[in-house]
Chains A and B, each alone.
Chain A
């Protein structure tokens, strides 16, 4: 018995990226554009989807709902008569705290790809892991609620750098909070200079129109600036 050193030099997430590319190819063949929708638990991802999914003219929308357990969010969206597919990471995927390309691949057969133009993948609520795992999406959007604090971009740069749009949600609460929106945006620009951002409130409807238009542009295949 002797030891041999084997040179590898391979990004450990290459396997995931390869599967993500296969997903992307399948989505492209079906003519479906895909959004990876991320953010912390309770940031308002589902509420922001509820606001727009039925209001995208000419676009048929489907949702893939990622959760560790349960189908509460999927039920909320299904009640709007939008095709929703539930993907639970527990127990099939060890209760993972994010979706990866392989999990999304396993759900491809359950998705009505022929009947939709835009698929929104609502990722598991988490500000770390989803940022590292591409799933085959065209665009990545993250939600950051003003209740989470101004320093979040500095604490979670992986996530804030991994998206093309930041939705700053719950701005209706600003009068009641010590949250300084300018300071948040300054931190955001330090971490991801110039990233698109929309201040929005799923509750009052403020900012919902530009958010809907942004999503519609992805569905209509208007190039998203990375």
Chain B
């Protein structure tokens, strides 16, 4: 359900960088810990993009797995369930997110109008 607000955040970020140019592709990097449902995000993005430079743009979502790191024993591992406990040494207070909490606009593709300079 948070995909609607997240879509607005994407569009606002893109609008800021597009400087009025029409956007054809928006590339996102999304970590598994953000609990985003890709199809839902895609649906809302299309809806929120209407009437902005993002209208009609394709949303590309690179999904990144959740990886944790134990600061106590330096083990790094991937998780399916959100369990922040080290499988190696059992430490829990020193487990950090190595990757998986990203929600980044990585790049956009914009359409440039050719400059018609006098010869």
Contacts and interface: CB of A to CB of B under 8 A. Distances in A.
Given A11-B103, A158-B35, A189-B92, A129 B2 contact: yes
Interface of B: 1-2, 5-6, 9-10, 12-14, 16-18, 24, 28, 33-35, 81-85, 92-93, 95, 102-114
Interface residues of A, number: 36
Contacts, number: 110
Nearest to A7: B107
Interface majority SS on A: helix, strand, loop or mixed?
A: mixed
Nearest to B85: A190
Contacts of B105: 8-10, 12
B35 A5 contact: no
Contacts of A222: none
Nearest to A13: B9
Closest 7 CB pairs of A and B: A193-B92, A157-B82, A12-B9, A129-B2, A190-B83, A128-B2, A8-B105
Nearest to B92: A193
Contacts of B18: 6
Contact of B95 (A2, A8, A157, A193): A193
B5 A154 contact: no
B78 to A, nearest CB: 15
A4 B108 CA distance: 8
